[in-house]
Amino acid sequence: MRLAAAFACAIAISTAAFAQVTVGRSGWDAIREGRNEEAAAAFAEAIRAEPREASLYVGAGLAAQLLGDNAKARDSFAQALKLAPNFTTASLLLGDLLYRQSDLQGAITVFEAAAKYAPDDKTLAERLARLRAEPSPEKGFFQSPSAHFTVLFEGPADEDLARRAVELLESAYWRVGTALYTFPDHVITVVLYTQEQFRDTTRSPAWAAGAYDGSRIRIPMRGAFEQAPGELERVLTHELTHAMIRAIAPRGVPTWLNEGLAVMFEPDGSRWAESTLAASDTRIPLEQLAGSFDGLSGNQARIAYAESGDAARRLFDEAGGAGVVALLQDIARGVPLADAFQQRMLTSYSAFAASLR
């Protein structure tokens, strides 16, 4: 499961805000068209010419972020705010980035500072309210930290489960990270919810067993975790894979590839996909699985995940981890999927899709 709305929203704001600005125009055009590397180069050049123009640093930061370079993005947004402390778009982007890097308090501080300059800004007020409502140690949540994760949970009754979650996450971190040549540059926050809180917070379909929204992994706790010991590992590995993929390609990844890799890395995921497909004649064309799965019924969703898992497994077998990662990096750079696919997989996207039927 994934929700990318917040990020898309930030991009819509910033490109709209600067549509009129001529300085850096070629950079904004490149961002809008997904040519992220060209955008980064255009903004770097514009900054050399006009080093005091704050909007150029926002553009440079956005391009860096789309290319997966969060450190550069953070520095650029901070520089924009240094030049123009009342620059709300820069505050929104910096706060969102800090939040996605698990720095909830840092994000709240940025939004609070921005709200002093723009008390009537609705987006800012809404974002601030949402982050203030997020579970955190400051709000009385317990935490179980490890090298790469912080697991938040409500009370001592969940402590054993949280500790087990941390162990499972750490081992999945190395397994998935090694296969995808990727290790996120920040601690990932995982929140354990009751079933009800989870539905309210994520608005996920009833079949969802977990969610990753680009910043936090959210898991509803279910009796199943006690009854089926493998279930917790499956759900955590699945959502962690989404976080790893996002570290390579922040957006533009077709859902079947994102979900397919997540299924593939689940313990036993490939076998589950194979047996699920063997037991059903229903097939959904791969092209239809590029968009969201949220509207699917439980049964359609099963098939969609199984097909995705099967497709991802084949890509991995044929092109290896390095090939799949190269494909994701191309997507991050803004190369159209069909072109990237042809180049990295040595077959066309449509031929690959047809071969799955």
Q: Which amino acid is present at 331? A: I
Q: Which one of residues 188, 262, 325, 332 is an interface residue with Zn ion (CB under 5 A)?
A: 262
Between 114 and 261, CB nearer to Zn ion: 261
Q: Min. distance of Cβ 2 from Zn ion in angstroms?
A: 6
d(CA 119, CA 125): 8
Identify the CA nearest to 307 among candidates 346, 260, 343: 260
Q: Which amino acid is present at 16? A: A
Between 62 and 261, CB nearer to Zn ion: 261
Identify the CA nearest to 40 among candidates 64, 16, 13, 68: 64
Q: Min. distance of Cβ 236 from Zn ion in angstroms?
A: 12
Piece of the chain touching Zn ion by CB under 5 A; list 1-9, 38-46, 47-55, 68-76: 1-9
User: CA–CA distance from 329 to each of 65, 170, 251, 261, 347 (Å)?
Assistant: 13, 24, 11, 15, 18
DSSP assignment of 32-96, as one string? Answer: HTT-HHHHHHHHHHHHHH-TT-HHHHHHHHHHHHHTT-HHHHHHHHHHHHHH-TT-HHHHHHHHH
Q: Min. distance of Cβ 331 from Zn ion in angstroms?
A: 17
Between 262 and 326, CB nearer to Zn ion: 262
Binding mask 214-253 for Zn ion (x = CB under 5 A): ----------------------------------------
Between 35 and 246, CB nearer to Zn ion: 246
Between 131 and 312, CB nearer to Zn ion: 312
Between 111 and 316, CB nearer to Zn ion: 316
Q: Min. distance of Cβ 187 from Zn ion in angstroms?
A: 21
Piece of the chain touching Zn ion by CB under 5 A; list 48-56, 120-128, 168-176, 255-263: 255-263
Asked whether the beta carbons of 250 and 68 are under 8 A apart, the reply is yes
d(CA 83, CA 142): 39
What 3-state DSSP class applies to 309? helix
Q: Min. distance of Cβ 238 from Zn ion in angstroms?
A: 6
Asked whether the beta carbons of 59 and 31 are under 8 A apart, the reply is yes
Asked whether the beta carbons of 307 and 284 are under 8 A apart, the reply is yes
Piece of the chain touching Zn ion by CB under 5 A; list 99-107, 109-117, 262-270, 306-314: 262-270
d(CA 106, CA 109): 5
Count residues contacting Zn ion (CB under 5 A)?
3
- The CA-CA-CA angle for residues 121, 214, 72, to 5°, reads 80
Asked whether the beta carbons of 47 and 60 are under 8 A apart, the reply is yes
Q: Min. distance of Cβ 29 from Zn ion in angstroms?
A: 33
Between 221 and 262, CB nearer to Zn ion: 262
Between 1 and 236, CB nearer to Zn ion: 1
Q: Min. distance of Cβ 211 from Zn ion in angstroms?
A: 8
Between 7 and 111, CB nearer to Zn ion: 7
Q: Min. distance of Cβ 148 from Zn ion in angstroms?
A: 20
Q: Which of residues 105-164 bind Zn ion (CB under 5 A)?
A: none
Piece of the chain touching Zn ion by CB under 5 A; list 136-144, 149-157, 187-195, 258-266: 258-266
Q: Min. distance of Cβ 36 from Zn ion in angstroms?
A: 24
d(CA 269, CA 263): 5
- If one asks whether residue 1 binds Zn ion (CB under 5 A), the answer comes out as yes
Residues that bind Zn ion (CB under 5 A): 1, 259, 262
